[in-house]
Structures are given as structure tokens and as C-alpha cells.
A and B are shown apart, each in its own frame.
Chain A
């Protein structure tokens, strides 16, 4: 530990304290201060630690939470960056708050949720460390920021390239993600789903139609959702690799959980995954791979998966008077399609609120709402009494559902959150609120004036 890095940690801690005293919520500023003083601070702080980086388009936050439970179940200690604070500044801030006044971090693991584009700068000094990198998947997301979906793959690639000794854990079913296997690595593992997840998902909406090696159209033995599934290329032979951690089948879909059969490094394991929706099964599989790799026994993995608290999976329940609110975050077509699947299973009879903003963090371009298969929801949502639309692009969202043949007589646009919340409270109904990222933040801020809420951490 150099004097400079210790000093940088102190400066970071003081900044954090000042921010707390002044009531500012920013989590990345301390990191910026630290980096100014000591640009290679992470090299010092992570020196003797095991690092797990989780990146990819969807499921980073949930996967991190499950991995965290896995690590703690193994009796080891871990710190994690705040969800959302997943750029370099946020990661440095997390290291600084985990460090003692001597400038050392005492936990065994650093578990880092990493933005795909920020991965490169985050892992820059981790080349000699014990690093495991999980890539959950690559989907279209905020296209105006990253351009094309291959750009996202290349950003992750640029990050991982700096880690020749990395243990890679990749999604076998994602042709974009599994292409990262040609990077230098020490160990390589895959997780995936060995059978279709459910009937009726569209096979046309795909973010990866053509082989990224030879540009031939992929064929599929089966689809799970989006472009995920048993892909193969007839021309060059690129294909899905058999995963070491695989979901063999879903035995039962429950309300908020699934009973599944898995193959974990050759062992047949039955588990109940306490996360709602098929997309979360992938997150559970990724975390299961990590659980196994850090030495957890199968029955310990099963009890972690069965003991996950229900507020996981980007879903939160809040009682507002007699109204039970379910807050659900959506940020891209793949995630939204999974929420559609979830809502189909719920068959809501009360109110559904759709909230769409087009701020930078939501994606400036809202075209993607036409890639969400609302048409599949039309019938299942026909018993709902009201559909409310809120957020800056409420009218666009309303129009989207008109063209999905929803009953427009039940439509209401209400951009004022306070009026909306007052109304939801009066209705006393079960309400599903499906909101884009900044819409969720704004709505929760206003909701906190009505009911006490936990600090938002993006799930």
C-alpha cells in the first residue's frame, strides 16, 4: 500500500462523508476524487483479493445479488458496488468504502457489476489478479449509445482482453456472448438452458440472426427467448457449446418462482429458484456456476436459490393504502418481453401502468417499444380495468398499445406522478407498474412522499 493510495482512500472517504452530510445521493463522485489522486488505485486496493466481474446487457444486478448470497453461504466475505454505480467511478467508490483507514480492503471477494463499456477501464489493472468474469448475455440496449449490438460485444472483448488469466463464465445460448471464448483465458465455463423455456415466444425478434464469423443465417435446435437457444451455423460450424451448468427442464412455474431440474457439473440437481420469470433462470444459472466454482456443495447452492428474497429480479412490492403496487423495471425489448411473459402468467385484473421516458439513461430512441410483443399480452390483459400511461413518452406508449388491439376505452394518460399515485391509492387495486429506468426513479421519488421506501438500488 503506497502512501499515495492510502491518502487517496482517505480523500475518497471524506468526500463520501461530505456527500452524506449534505444529503447528496451521488455515488460516483468519491471515486472521481480518488482517481484524480491515484489513477491506478484499483491495482493497490484489489491486490490480494479475488475479483468477480459481472457484465452483459441484462441481468447484471440480479446475478450479482445471487452470487453475493453464494459467496456468503460459503463463509467468505464480499463487497459489491451499488447497482447502477457500475462505471469506473462507482466501482472505485465501492472499493474505497470497503477499505479501512489503513487503505486496505478486508473482504475476500470484490463482486463488481460492470457496465459493458466501462469494463475496459475497470479491469485495466486486474491483469495479474484472480479474476472471474461472468457475461450474462448481449442484447440490443440503448442503441443510440452503443450503436450496433456487435459494438457492445467488442466493448466487452476490449475489457476481457486485458485479463489473459481470467476464468470466463459465458452464456452458452447467446451466440454473441459465447463468441468471447476465443479470448485468452485460464478456465472457461458455460451456463445455459437445454430446452425451450415456454411456448409462444417469437422467433423473429432476434438481435443476432447471422453468424458473426461467416454471416450465414443461424439455425436453431430450439429457442428460449430472443436470439438465445440452441444455435448453430451450417456453413462455418460455429455452434452452442454444451454448458457445464444447464437447466434441463422447468418442472413447475409458480407465482414468483420456478421449480427446475439442473445439471451442475455432471450432477442432477432439483431446485426452486425464488426469482420470477424465465429470464431470471439464466441469472440463477450464472450464479450457480460461480457457486460451484467457489466450492459450494450442490445442496448449499439449492438452499441459496431457494432462499432468495422475493424483491429480487427488478421487482418490488409496495403497499399504498389498500393498493398493492408491483414495480417492475424495463430497459430494453428483451427484458420487456420477459415482463410481458410474466404479466401473461399474472392475468392482471386491476390496473397496469406503463411509464416511458426518453432520457439518456432510458435510451433517447423509443423505437424499441415496437419490438416488444404486446400483442401476446392483449388477451391476458383484457380483464384489467385500467391502463395508465405516464412518463415523457406516455402518448407513444399509449399508441403502441392501441396498435396491439388493447381496449382503448380503458386508456388514461397521466404524466403527473402525484395525481397518478393519489388515484392509484384511491382505487385500492392490485397494480402493476412497468416503468423505464428514469421513470422508475422519478416515480419512486414521488411515491416516497406517500409511503416509506427503501433506497432504490435498481431491482
Chain B
């Protein structure tokens, strides 16, 4: 391996890991290693942020409602200032489902009670009355303006609404997206990529994985990431799109 190495933080790895979230970490690591670049994964749980925290990419997955309460407590006690700082300074952050909601301002239950979240990106979530579930597809516009589709599986009740300064990740082609209403999906702010595409988003959306890696790599080494084939990844991506019609 080269001396070059990206440092990946899997935040709340033991709580926000409901649906194969490890697949994302695995994809980031492998796609670095296959390029001859080293990777280091730090798995961070409750308590103070580790001192060795020069993270290039932070990943936050989805979790169960049961664990939300203890999570929010830890977030405000130990992580809030640090995580907001990372967002503002442009660290690459991928947040999925519960992790996505948590970066926003708050969650409002059906009876109007609010749970405050990080407030790191200008979005908020309200309780929906139907489960938005199934395979879905959205059109993503990349940093370089290039467009491609992202496929995944969504499973959420919460409806997320975007405020000023935040762009959607993409436009829904099939499925529900942020709220089942305005055709938007996910949120983009600085180098934050947030989406409802839960679990293993990156393996079969290798172009998105490479986009995250490119940004992080360029930020750190000021040079371009080399190309890497993604035929099998595209085969899985294209096959499900074909099945969805």
C-alpha cells in the first residue's frame, strides 16, 4: 500500500447499524485499497470524540427508534459541537435514514412534541402517517454536473423537509424520497450527503462511492483519484432498475 491513507469514521457504529450499514464502510475501504490507497476505519460510539479524529469521511447509518433517545443524549453531551464543526469545514459526511434525520434540526411527532436534533443542516422531519417503503430510484446530479441514477431501498415514516441553503441529493424517479410529496430525495450541504437510501447504498452505486472518495482524497492530497472499474456494481444497479421497469 502507498503511504496515502484516508481515515473513515463510522459514527455510532454499534447503534446505527440496522440494515447492513457495514456494506458502505466496506465499499469505501475496498475501493480505496483496490486503488492502492490505504484506509483506516475508526469506530466511534458513546462518549467523548477520540483524540485521533482527523477524519476524512464520516459515515452515519440508520437505527431503531428504541435507541434514538439514548443517542440524542450522547449527541448533545459529546458530539454536537465537533460534528457541526466537521460539517462546516467541509469534511465528507454520508448520513443515511436515521443518521440523516439526526443531522437535521428536529423531529416532530404526530402530537406536536419535538425532539431536538443536531441542527447541522437546515432540514426537519415530521411524523408521517404511512410507511414509505420499497426499492426506489432517484436522479443524482454530481459535483461536476454529471447526472446518474441511484438505486436503493427506503423504509421510513418520517417526512423530511428541506430549508434554505440545502439542496436535495436528487429527484425521485420511482418511490417516495424525502416526504412522498415534493419529489425530492435526500439533502446536500457543503460535503454532506444525506439520503433515505438505507443500508448498503454504496456497493451498487459505485459512482457515488467514488464521488465521496474523490472529494475526500482531493481535499487531503490535492490530486485526483484514479479511475476504477465498476462493472459488477453497475450490473447490480442496472438489473434492479430493469426490474422496477
Query: Which residues does A use to contact B, with CB under 8 Å?
Result: 143-144, 148-150, 204, 206, 209-210, 212, 215, 217, 364-371, 392-396, 398-400, 402-403, 405, 408, 411, 413
Contacts and interface: CB of A to CB of B under 8 A. Distances in A.
B49 interface: no
B22 to A, nearest CB: 6
B195 to A, nearest CB: 14
A215 B70 contact: yes
Given A209-B15, A367-B199, A399-B204, A408 B232 contact: yes
B20 interface: yes
Contacts of A413: 235
B236 A396 contact: yes
B159 interface: no
Contacts of B64: 148-150
Given A364-B134, A396-B204, A408-B232, A403 B23 contact: yes
Contacts of B15: 209-210
B66 A365 contact: no
Interface residues of B, number: 36
B203 interface: yes
Given A209-B14, A399-B204, A144 B133 contact: yes
B66 A150 contact: yes
Contacts of A144: 133, 155
Nearest to B242: A395
A398 B67 CA distance: 33
Instruction: Name the 9 nearest CB pairs between A and B, nearest first.
Output: A367-B199, A370-B20, A370-B23, A367-B20, A367-B19, A395-B236, A395-B239, A370-B200, A148-B64
A204 B14 contact: yes
A398 B236 contact: yes
A211 to B, nearest CB: 10
B240 to A, nearest CB: 7
A403 B203 contact: yes
Contacts of A150: 64, 66
A392 B65 contact: no
Given A150-B64, A210-B67, A399-B204, A371 B155 contact: no
Contacts of B20: 367-371
Interface of B: 13-15, 18-23, 26-27, 30, 46, 64-67, 69-70, 133-135, 153, 155, 198-200, 203-204, 232-233, 235-236, 239-240, 243
Contacts of B18: 143, 148
Contacts of B235: 395, 398-399, 413
Contacts of A210: 15, 66-67, 70
Given A204-B14, A396-B236, A370 B153 contact: no
A403 B30 contact: yes
Contact of B22 (A215, A366, A370): A370
Contacts of B26: 370, 403
A396 B67 CA distance: 29
Contacts of B21: 370
With a 10 A CB-CB cut-off, give which of A150, A368, A371, A399 has the most chain B CB atoms: A399
A133 B130 CA distance: 34
B203 A399 contact: yes
Contacts of B46: 217
A408 B34 CA distance: 14
Given A143-B19, A210-B70, A398 B232 contact: yes
Nearest to A394: B239
Nearest to B23: A370
Contact of B19 (A206, A368, A395, A408): A368
B199 A399 contact: no
